[in-house]
Structure 1
Amino acid sequence: MTFVSLLPLPHWQTHHHLSAKPVESLPKPKVLLPNLTQPRRLTNLVAMAQQAISSEKHGPVVQQKKFLIPNKNGHILAGVLHDVGSGRLAVLCHGFRSNKEQETLLNLADSLTREGISAFRFDFSGNGESEGSFQYGGYWKEVDDLREVVLHLSQAKQEVCAIVGHSKGGDVVLLYASKYHDISTVVNISGRFDLKKGIEERLGKDFMERVQKDGFIDVRNKGDVILYRVTLESLMDRLNTDVFAASKSINHNCRVLTVHGSKDEIIPVEDALEFDKLIPNHKLVIVEQANHCYTAHQSELASIVVDFIKDSCQPKKPSSEQVPSNARTERSLSSRI
C-alpha cells in the first residue's frame, strides 16, 4: 500500500515557503516527526516508501513456491507456483519434449502475475524435473498428470480458473476439458488437430513398417545420438487419440481460445481452423507471421492469452461483499500496491 505523509516537513525544508520570519519564531508542530537523530529508522521509512512505489509500478509482489505432486503412477511431478495471493490461478502446460522452463510458459506466468493472477507451471512425468521416463504419445497419461495437479492445488486452497497448453500441451488441455468439466476457461496454443499427421516428419515415411518389424524406432539427431525411443505401444497410443471426438465433447459452458501462428512450421495453421469448426464455445486468434514457438511474438501472445482469461481469474471476493462495477478498477489497483 502506498502511504502519503501529511506531516509537516522539518523547518529546514519549509521556512522559505511559509514566511519571511526567522525560523525560530515559527510555532512548533503538535505532531511528532520522524526522529532524524535515528538514521536507521529514517532509512527503514525510505525503504518502505521505495518498496511501495516499486510495487505500484511493477505490479503485485510475486512469491515463487516449489511443489512436488505425486501422480497416479507414483511419480513425483515438479512444479512452481507464482503466487500473488489471488486464490485463483492458471495452470500452464508445456509441449512435446519440453518443460516448465520453456520461454512461452515463463512469459505467460510473468504476464499473468502482472495482472494479479497467480500461475502454476509444471513438468509432465518423464520431462524436466519430474520423475518417470519419457514416452512418445501418452496424451491421456498427461491428462492424468494435469488432473492430479488440479486436485492437489484445490486441496492447497488454490482454485484453478484456467488451463493453458502450448503445442502438445494444447491437445492435453482440450482432452482434459472433454473428460472433466470443472475448468471454465481453456487456452490451446498451437495444438495439433489430427494426431495422425506430423509423424512422418520425425520418423520417416516407412515408420509403421519399421516399428512393426523391430518393435521400436530410435529417433536420433544429426550427430547420431539417440534422442528418444518410439515403441509400437506409444505410437499406437498417439494414433488412437481422437482429438476430433474430444473437441465435440467439450461443454458449451467452457470458453475455449485457440491461438495459432500463421507461419507455424511444425503444425499448420489449418489445424486451428478445424478446432474452430467443432468446439462449441470457441474463439480463434491467428497471429500473423508467428512461428510455432512465437519467437518474435511473445508479447503479443501473452497479451492475447491474458485478455481472454483475466475475467475468469479475478481475485476472490467475499460472497457477502457487493462491489459496484465502477469500484472494480479501484479494488484491483489497491490489491497491487
Structure 2
Amino acid sequence: MSSSEKVTFTGHGGHLLDARLEKPAGKPRAYALFAHCFSCSKNSLAATRIARHLTDHRIAVLRFDFTGLGASEGDFANTNFTSNVQDLIAAATYMEETYGTADLLIGHSLGGAATLVAANQLPNIKAVATIGAPADAGHVLQHMAHHLEDIETKGQAEVQIAGRAFTIKDQFVSDVREAKVLHAAEKLKRPLLILHAPTDETVGVNNATELFMAARHPKSFVSLDKADHLLTGAEDTEFAADVIAAWAERYVATPAPLAPEPTGENHLVNVSETGEGVYANFVATEYHVLRADEPDRLGGINTGPAPYEYLSAALGACTSITLRMYLERKGWPVEHISVNVKHRKSDEPDANGWKPDIFTRELYVRGNLTEDQCGRLVEIANKCPVHKTLHRSAVIETELGSGT
C-alpha cells in the first residue's frame, strides 16, 4: 500500500519549505518532483491526485509548497518566478541528497513554466512534463490586470486571486515579464511531455503549441480533452498521471527498462494497461503516447484503436510515405496522397488450413499523372517495407522480461 510522509527542506532564501513524499508500496522505480500552480499549494487537487496516482506506477513523488505559500515559511510578497525556480532547484537537490535521485520534473500551470527553466540548471533530471503551462510566465499577470497600474506606480497592491488576497510587488511583475520560458524549452536537452486541455480558458492551448514548436525532440503532446485548467475532475488527474507514467517509463525507470533501449533498426514500443476497462492500454513509442483498446461490442470501452486497426494504419502510413519519397525523387506533380486500408479474414482456408488475413488497400493520388505513372505508383506501393513484412513472414521472439 502506498504511503505519504511529511518532510521539510530549506528553500532558496533559507526558509523551511513544507512537503510531502508520496511513496509506492515497495521500492520506487523513479522519483518525481511536482511544482504546483500559481498561488496554489502542494495540496491542490492536481498536485495531490496526480502524485498519489503515480505511486500506483511505482513512482515516488515529492510535492511541496513554494516559499510563502501553504505551510512553507517566508513572505509570498517577496517571491517571484525566479525564486520559484530556485525553490525547485533546492527541492531537486534535497531529493538527490536524501533519496539518491530526482528523475522527473512535473509542473502545473506556472509551475510547469518554472520546471522548464529549472531543468536547464539540473543536469541529473532525466525528463520533464508540463500540465497547462504558459509559454510566457508573464501570462500570470492577467490575474491582476486591473491592479498593474497601482503596482507599478505605488510599488505594490493587494490582489484577489481565487478568492484569496495576495500582496504583489513591482519586482514580481518585472521578474515574470523577463522570464524566458520559450528559450528554456528550446535549450532543454531532455525529453519533454506537454499536456494541455484544448478547452483551457485560463491558459489557452496555443501556449502548448508554442512550447512544442520551441522544444527539441524527443517531445510529445497529449490533449487533456474536456479538462479544466485546475484539473478538478478526478478522471482528468488520473489520466494525466497514467500518461506521464507510460511516457516516462523509457526515460526514468530504474532499474533497467522492461525492454532494451532501441538501437539501429530496433524500434521499442511499450504497451501497458491503463487500468480502465478490461482491454485499454497505453502505447508508448520513442516520441509519442497513444491508446489501444477494443470496441464496446467486444468488451472494451473504445478508448483507442483496436490492434488490427493499428496494423492497417501501419500499412497505410508506410504506403503513403513510400509513395511520397518516390514522387519527390521523380519530381512528379502530386498534390495529395490518401490511402484506405480494410482488413478481414478470408472465408477460404489456404493450403495449410489457415484462413489468411486480407488487407485491401485503395490509393488516392491527386495530381496530373499519366496512366503509366499511376501504374508505377501501384508497383511502388507494393514495395513499401510494411507491405513486404506482411506479405512475407515475420519471426516473433517472446521472452519474459526481468522487470516482471
Does TM, scored on the shorter chain, surpass 0.5? yes
Equivalent residue for 2:113, pick from 158, 171, 181: 171
4+ aligned runs moved over 6 Å, structure 1 = none
Q: Work out whether residues 140 and 175 of structure 1, in 8 Å CA contact, stay in contact via their aligned partners in 2.
A: no
Q: Cα distance 1:147–1:201, how it changes in 2: closer, same or farther (>3 A)?
A: closer
Question: Structure 1 residue 150: deviation in Å?
Answer: 1.3
Give the secondary structure class of the aligned counterpart of 1:196. Answer: helix
CA, structure 1 residues 196+77, in 2 after alignment: closer, same or farther (shift >3 Å)?
closer
Structure 2 match to 1:244 = 182
Distance 2:152 2:64 in 1: 34
Deviation at 1:92, TM superposition (A): 1.1
From 98, 104, 114, the counterpart of 2:46: 104
Aligned to 2:5: 65
| 224, 234, 237: which one aligns with 1:298 | 237
Asked if residue 90 in structure 1 is aligned to residue 29 in structure 2, the reply is no
- Alignment counterpart, residue 215 of structure 1, candidates 155, 167, 173: 155
1:256 is the counterpart of 2:192: yes
Give the deviation of 1:270 after TM superposition.
0.4
Larger Rg: 1
- Which secondary structure state, in structure 1, belongs to the residue aligned with residue 31 of structure 2? strand
- Residues 216 and 248 of structure 1, relative CA distance in 2, 3 Å threshold: same
TM-superposed CA distance for 1:152, in Å, is 1.4
Contact preservation (8 Å) 1:63, 1:83: yes
Q: Which residue of 1 aligns with 2:284?
A: none
Q: How does 1:180-195 map to 2 (within 5 A)?
A: 180-195=122-137
Contact 2:159 2:168 in 1 (8 A): yes
Distance 1:310 1:79 in 2: 25
Aligned equivalent of 1:128, options 50, 70, 75? 70
Q: Paired residues, what number?
A: 259
1:263–1:289 Cα contact (<8 Å) kept: yes
Residue of structure 1 in register with 2:275 after alignment: none
Query: Which has the larger displacement, 67-76 or 212-221?
Result: 212-221
Per the normalisation by structure 2, the TM-score is 0.60
Deviation at 1:132, TM superposition (A): 0.7
Taking the aligned partners of 2:243 and 2:400, their CA distance within structure 1 comes to: 25
Q: Give distance in 1, aligned partners of 2:252 and 2:138.
A: 35
Identity rate, percent: 21
Distance 1:118 1:137 in 2: 28
**Structure 2: 5+ residue stretches without partners:** 257-396
> Residue 302 of structure 1: CA displacement?
2.0
Letter in 1 for 2:99: K
Partner of 1:203: 145
SS at structure 2 position matched to 1:217: strand
Q: CA deviation at 1:65?
A: 2.1
Deviation at 1:137, TM superposition (A): 6.5
Q: Measure, in 2, the Cα distance between the counterparts of 1:83 and 1:327.
A: 27
1:50 alignment partner in structure 2: none
2:173 to 232, 235, 255: 235
Q: 1:326 to 1:140 in 2, by over 3 A?
A: farther
Residue 267 of structure 1: how far off its partner (Å): 0.5
Q: SS at the partner of 2:403?
A: helix
Q: Does the 8 A contact of 2:108 with 2:131 survive in 1?
A: yes
Q: Match for 1:229: what amino acid?
A: T
Superposed displacement of residue 192, structure 1 = 0.7
- Aligned partners of 1:160 and 1:151: how far apart in 2? 8
Separation in structure 2 between the aligned mates of residue 273 and residue 73 of structure 1, nearest angstrom: 34
Gap change, CA 1:114 and 1:220, over 3 Å in 2: closer
1:300 to 1:275, Cα distance in 2 relative to 1, 3 A: same
Report the TM-score when normalising by structure 1.
0.71
Matched with 1:79 is 19
